[in-house]
Amino acid sequence: MQLVIAGAADHEDEYSRNLKNQAAGDVRIIMTGFIKGAELGEMLSNAGLFALPSYHEGLPIALLEAMSYNLPIIASDIPANCELALANETFSVGNVEELHRKISEFISSPAVEQNTRRRVETEFNWDGVADATERLYLDVV
């Protein structure tokens, strides 16, 4: 398997420069930089697992996008990610060993059936969200 690191640091710092330098000599690692549109769709269509080790998120759109492609996910257990991920799909934020273990477990025994797309379609469907928002507004009025 290859590791694809998609996205880029908003503000380059020592950490992001070190990461680029370490990855530069390893053919197993692809750093895409910021991608969107068809290129992002192609990457997600061919991915085997999506990991989001964020420390901070509002609504993790990247996680929702990955789920809409029915990808298995692993995400840090910050509140925003826990709104989307099941307990067995999370790891303690900042715990590199636990993230490593979860990824290794997935690689050695990938999940047979995913239901991430179904969760996105039922819980985060724009039509459903719009209907619920309209009902709330009408209730308030």
Given this model, what pLDDT does residue 113 score?
62
Query: Does the pLDDT value for residue 9 go beyond 90?
Result: no
Pick 35-140's CATH classification: 1.10.3720.10, 3.40.980.10, 3.30.360.10, 3.40.50.2000. Answer: 3.40.50.2000
Given this model, what pLDDT does residue 124 score?
81
The pLDDT tens digits for 73-131 are 999 999 999 999 999 999 999 999 999 999 999 888 876 566 788 888 888 888 888 99
Query: Does the pLDDT value for residue 25 go beyond 90?
Result: no
Given this model, what pLDDT does residue 112 score?
53
Mean pLDDT, rounded, for 9-30: 90
Burial class (CB in 10 A: 0-12, 13-18, 19+), 78: buried
SS3 breakdown of the chain: % helix, strand, coil, rounded to 5? 50, 15, 35
For the chain, the domains span 35-140
Per the CB < 8 A criterion, the answer to whether 6 and 66 are in contact is no
Per the CB < 8 A criterion, the answer to whether 51 and 74 are in contact is yes
Would you say how long the chain is, in residues?
141
